[in-house]
Structure 1
Amino acid sequence: MGSAMRVLMVSTYPPQRCGIAEYTRALVRELSGRYGVSVVVFAEKRSWTRTLVALDGRALVVRGWSRRGRIDLLRALRLLASFKPDIIHIQHEYGLFKSRLAFTLGLLFLKLLGFKIVVTLHTVCDVLQMAKRGISPTWDKIISRLADAAIVHTIRSAKLLRAYGWDKNRCTVIRHGASETDGITDLSGREKVDVLFIGFITPRKGVDLVIDALSRLRDDGVDNWTFTVAGFPHPASLERDLPYLRRVLRKIAESRLGEKVRLIIEYLSYEKMEKLLKEADIVVLPYRELHGASGILRLVAAHGKAVVVSDVGEFSEEIRDMVNGLVFKPGDIEELADKLKLAILDDSLRNKLGQELYRTIAARNTWRNVAKLTVEVYERVLYGH
């Protein structure tokens, strides 16, 4: 592939706090730095946005749309006319484009102008979950008619898209990328084992289950641990999830675990997450549901930490119990307590699980490899091979 390929990436972008924003930045840096792709990011504009046009490495970032459907049409048209992208690559999540009509009309407009469109669907829900979110399966069917190719992160997502009418030849599974780190830190022999929950605090991520499980361990005399809760509700769902955060804090206060729990209730920078992961012995991801890829799982894998996960979504595809992690039935507090006890009491098991997690996820799914596979999708769309 020559350096002439031009990609217009439509996405959220840092400093916006969002997993898709971080995903896009990591991908863009590899595409523009290693593969010579010319990338312009057409990013979401928020109320706090001060700079509408900026450089990030070799990529130009232009802010001009909002998730409510408002778009700086003049800026968008000028961008299309001046940049003349070969590919328009949209990073999609159901909550990111709340105006279905505006998004559909935008896709149709781009298609009529003759642009090639690739959509990464970070979340793909089954019919039941779509109904809970107030979304019709017709939404994915519309995208399938207008996009030239789709990228998803899990096998389950690919199967769902095919059920919604996608041609399997236009749908590619590319696992979420994992960042390079300074290596695995061996924390064996510490007096207290640090159990970490990290990420956005929302009911579906189930941090309340860990409080109940650790309370059981303490009642059983397993006391050589501390529990760190680090994160905050997602900015886009703050009003909805703040009551849950208050319930979690109240549960901690009522559990008499106060002195064993460290609370870091804030939006976490990437650097802060890296620091917390280096300090952790065990990371627990007790999600009640998961409909796409977990960026946090990649960070955990990159640091080679032992992970305890629920048997949902991508975790079911990626984590094998007692091989590269510990797996429990979603919502089963007793089994979660048993898995945590196993990891807390066995240094050698934690090290083995962490090393295997690094080998099976982080080493195989580098951002370099993600970018390479993404370029292959672009080439198939443009050149048919």
Structure 2
Amino acid sequence: MLTVIQIQNLKPKAKPYKVSDTDGLFILVQPNGSLLWRLKYRTDGREKKLALGKYPQVSLKAAREKRDEARKKIAEGVDPGKQRREAKIKAMTEARNTFRLVADEYIEKMAVEGKSPATISKLRWFRDLLNPYIGHVPVAEVSPHELLAALKRIERRGHHETALRTRSFAGRVFRYAIATLRAQYNHADVLRGALVIPKVKHRSAILEPKKVGELLRAIGDYTGRVETRIGLQLAAHVFLRPGEIRTAEWDDIDLAEAVWHVPAAKMKMKRPHTAPLSRQSVELLRELQSLQHPSTYLFPAFHTPKKTMSENTLNQALRRIGYTNEEMTAHGFRAVASTLLNESGRWHPDAIEKSLAHHDPDRVRSAYNRGTFWDERVRMAQWWSDYLDKLRDGADVVQLDLMRG
């Protein structure tokens, strides 16, 4: 039986050698002077060895306690070496399957499937909101309590809509983990109803014709970047969403045919959309083209032609010319067009909805309308731009609104 003094007096030799204690425990003396505890045992008819640590970090007493624990497992039919290897493999597997890494895989899958850059950026934002709290936790071990605590932190900052959307994102990650056999439960589903549901707030828009005219004059007098001014003017004329405008590429535009093709990847409903262009819209696009930016984008970022302008640029420009977020947003131009076109009584409601790229859930009807209303949409686009010019110039348009063409 070894003593502490004997261990302290052990000297290294040219080759490793061992000094036995009791019940299979021995200390292995390495040529470099390291003293390593080992346990020799038999299981399934084979002799095996189990590492128990390094002396003096593991004392003689501690080594014997580890030996006794291991021999107890052996007596119960458990191989401690195999158990340790399995635990190590499990730890390594879990390290590769944290919520963060599974979320990254899911986001990459969405990118490969053709989701827009804006969508991918938003998914990464949701991931980053959760990362400090559950990013390091194996996805299968994230508890509803941990997820709820992370979401409540977002909610307490007053970001109720963000908290709801982040819960939805977490649910998609859990569903992906289940589909790839790395989790069994979607804990985000358990939390339905646990978060505050914010009151629906419609995007602000100016709907009085006279005030629309004032807005158009203010945009025309904008003294910031020319590209930003043109972006706002196009938002008023073409019925497209701000994101569809700022991510547009010159390959999407056919100035000769006066058509703007929006690929499915850039559309909210992931369906391709074609917008007719009025003479005014074509003129704005030619003015933009004359700036000769070395970019495939109509609206490149200020600092690099490889990226698009920020999603906040148009709204910030509206703030700069004096309109608050409660008065007008870039997305609000669509509400302006929808409201005033419908009030004019000149156009079929389905033609207006088609121009706004609103999805008709009836597929047969939607396919029919796509072909039926194109000519009307072309006429409507030109009428709308002429009407906006009249509003901008301060013409009396009250009677025009109420007349049918």
What's the TM-score once normalised by structure 1's chain length?
0.29
Q: Looking at both structures, which has the greater relative contact order when contacts are Cα pairs under 8 Å and sequence separation is at least 6?
A: 1
What's the TM-score once normalised by structure 2's chain length?
0.27
Counting helix residues as a fraction of each chain, which structure ranks higher? 2
Counting strand residues as a fraction of each chain, which structure ranks higher? 1
Structure with larger Rg: 2
